[in-house]
Amino acid sequence: MTRLAWTLARAGGWSRMLLVTLCTAVVSGLLLVAVALLLLPANPEEMFFNLVADPGVRGGTTFGTVLLTLPILLLLHQAVRLGTAARERRLAALRLAGATPGQVRLLGALEVGIPSFVGGVLGLLVYGLLRLMFGGTSYAEASSAPFRQQQLRLVPTTVTPAWWQVLLVILAVTLLGVAVGALASRGLVVTPLGVTRRQRTAPPRPWGFLLLVLAAALAPLVYLHQSLSTVGGMVCVALAVVGIASLAPWVTYRVGHRLTRRARSATMLLAASRMVADPRPLGRAAAAVGAIGLVSGGSAALTADLFGTNNLESFYIVSMVIVFGALLAALAVVVWTLAVHTVESLLERKRSTAALVAGGASLRDLELAQRTECALAAVPLAVLGVVLGTAALGFLVVTTSTGVVLMLTNLVVTPALTWLAVVVAVRLVRPWTLRAGAAANLRTE
């Protein structure tokens, strides 16, 4: 059974397995950091950045760390969805060969579960890396080194998660991976004879607003009842974030609707209609980009603080560069999945696409429509996310001109990079776009 699952997983392509492993590793590492933060006593024996040092805020930071896993889980969802149709076909072929539905489901779970487990274990490395990059300085050490107030010490070094806590995290991450895998195959009709994607024709509904309303309702209560403040604050923030994320498909749908009416060009019309017809993948990707923007803004604020307090230790600069590098990588992945989605929708209707080309649409027209679709999904939320992220942590920052310049630059650079990523990704999927519009798809005989 396991050998078959392994073969299946390999058949799915190394890149997908690798992506799943990477994502789960980061999630696992972040969860371990959160556990460590929870283990810190009220008065820890090391020095931290005030986000962690202050026990009142610490709860929020821990929660924020856990929230950080959400965009990565979104990424994981995208990664698993990549090539899901092909994977389902393989599983359907197995059913045809005689496997029971239970066996097939097990295989499917193993196919995602094994890389998730490996990622979960690798999370220890990620945790170690984060500790190294952003570890606190214990008072014992500080006595020998000069005192620095506001360095980016975020990860506890004096406490370590116990073995059973580590095991729990690995288990949780594996289960999360399997759950995401199961979610990705939802909506696919699988029979031994073939796989078709069941079109969810129902437009997305704005349930997210309920969550936002709830969050808004709770906020004053939390403010007034001091005892509830940390837990209540966390719940509010959680509701708000989940609310916004779940609203993304609805927003995409509404924006698309608006734009179809007011589109002036063929490419805008095509892009906007795609947004209305299939808003969910676009909304999800948009939410992920928003989250990336959020983290980017926050990181820019923290980096600005480094400049502000003149703590330009190469060590921290390198750490922040790594963080921004990871953000860039995540952005590239999300935008890539967006581009793949747009080309997949062209490939799903080859005749229609080929007919469009035959009727006089050039490759440039097709690619422009794809770029518009991706950009409309990604760029506005990149802007929103980075603005919110900068605002959220900006108040902690020691304001110097360099710091402000840094944050403003980031405000511009993040959306610009998103746009660039869209252009590059669409260009990279050109071979598939060409295949979708090929004249051979028009032959009837």
Partner 1 sequence: MNTTNEALLAAHGLHKAFGRTEALRGASLSVAAGETVAVTGRSGSGKSTLLLCLAGVLRPEAGEVTYGGRSLDALSEAERTRLRRRELGLVLQFGQLVPELRAVDNVALPLLLERHDRAASRRAALGWLERLGALDLAEARPGELSGGEAQRVAVARALVSGPKVVLADEPTGALDTVSGEQVLDALLSAARDAGASVVLVTHDNRVAAHADREVVVSDGRIEGAESFAVTR
What is d(CA 321, CA 157) in angstroms, rounded to the nearest whole number? 22
Nearer to partner 1, 3 or 264 (CB): 264
Determine if 196 is a binding residue for partner 1 (CB under 8 A).
Answer: no
Among 18, 318, 358, 408, which residue interacts with partner 1 (rule: CB under 8 A)?
358
194: β partners: 191
Question: What six digits make up the tokens of 57?
Answer: 């805020």
Closest distance of CB 183 from partner 1, Å: 25
Locate tokens 């945790």: which residue?
Answer: 127
Q: Judged by CB under 8 A, which of 41, 98, 220, 359 binds partner 1? A: 359
- For partner 1, the binding residues in 317-356 under the rule CB under 8 A are 349, 351-352, 355-356
Q: How far is the CB of 255 from partner 1 (least distance, A)?
A: 15
- Residue 3 lies near partner 1 (rule: CB under 8 A): no
> CB 261 → partner 1: shortest distance, Å?
10
Q: For residue 51, report the phi and psi dihedrals to the nearest 5 degrees.
A: -60, -30
Applying CB under 8 A, the site for partner 1 has a residue count of 29
Site membership for partner 1, residue 276 (CB under 8 A): yes
Q: Which is nearer to partner 1, 10 or 427 (CB)?
A: 427
Residue from 221, 277, 318, 391 in contact with partner 1 (CB under 8 A): 277
Q: Least distance (Å) from partner 1 to the CB of residue 282?
A: 13
Instruction: Check residue 274 for interaction with partner 1 (CB under 8 A).
Output: yes
Q: For residues 301 and 406, what is the distance between their CA atoms, to the nearest angstrom?
A: 8
**56 Cβ contact list (under 8 Å, min separation 6):** 229, 230
Identity of residue 256: G
Q: Minimum distance between the CB of residue 368 and partner 1, rounded to whole angstroms?
A: 11
Q: Does 442 help bind partner 1 (rule: CB under 8 A)?
A: yes
Nearest distance, CB of residue 373 and partner 1, angstroms: 11
- DSSP string covering 156-224, please? -SS----HHHHHHHHHHHHHHHHHHHHHHTTTEEEETTEEEEPP--SPP--THHHHHHHHHHHHHHHHH
Nearest approach in angstroms of CB 14 to partner 1 is 31
Instruction: Sketch the per residue contact string, 231 through 270, with partner 1: x for CB under 8 A, - otherwise.
Output: -----------------------------x--xxxx--xx
Nearer to partner 1, 97 or 445 (CB): 445
Contact call for residues 316 and 408 (beta carbons, < 8 A): no
Nearest distance in Å: CB 371, partner 1: 16
Interaction of residue 399 with partner 1, rule CB under 8 A: no
> Does 143 engage in binding with partner 1 (CB under 8 A)?
no
Identified binder of partner 1 from the candidate list 251, 361, 426, 429, rule CB under 8 A: 361
Token readout for 322 is 């790594």
CB nearer to partner 1: give 363 or 412: 363
Q: Closest Cα partner for 425 from 367, 386, 385, 380?
A: 367
CB of 43 or CB of 199, closer to partner 1: 199
Shortest Cβ 269–partner 1 spacing (Å): 6
Question: For residues 61 and 353, which CB has a smaller minimum distance to partner 1 in the complex?
Answer: 353
Is the Cβ of residue 73 or residue 368 nearer to partner 1 in the bound state? 368
CB of 353 to partner 1, least distance (A): 9
Strand 137-138 versus strand 46-47 pairing type: antiparallel
- Comparing CB distances to partner 1, the nearer of 306 and 376 is 376
Q: Amino acid letter at 345?
A: S
Residue 196 or 362: the one with the smaller Cβ distance to partner 1 is 362
* Sequence-separated (6 or more) residues with CB below 8 Å from residue 416: none
Of residues 186 and 443, the one with the C-beta less far from partner 1: 443
C-alpha 337 chain-centroid distance = 11
Q: Choose among 215, 409, 166: nearest CA to 303.
A: 409
- Of the residues 165, 273, 311, 402, which one makes contact with partner 1 according to CB under 8 A: 273
3-state secondary structure of 374: helix
Query: CA 406, 410, 412 angle in degrees (round to 5)?
Result: 120
46: three-class secondary structure by DSSP: strand
3-class secondary-structure state, position 135: strand
Alpha-helix runs per DSSP H in 100-158? 101-134, 139-142
157, 136 contact by CB (below 8 A): yes
* Residues in touch with partner 1 (CB under 8 A): 260, 263-266, 269-270, 273-274, 276-277, 349, 351-352, 355-362, 365, 439-440, 442-445
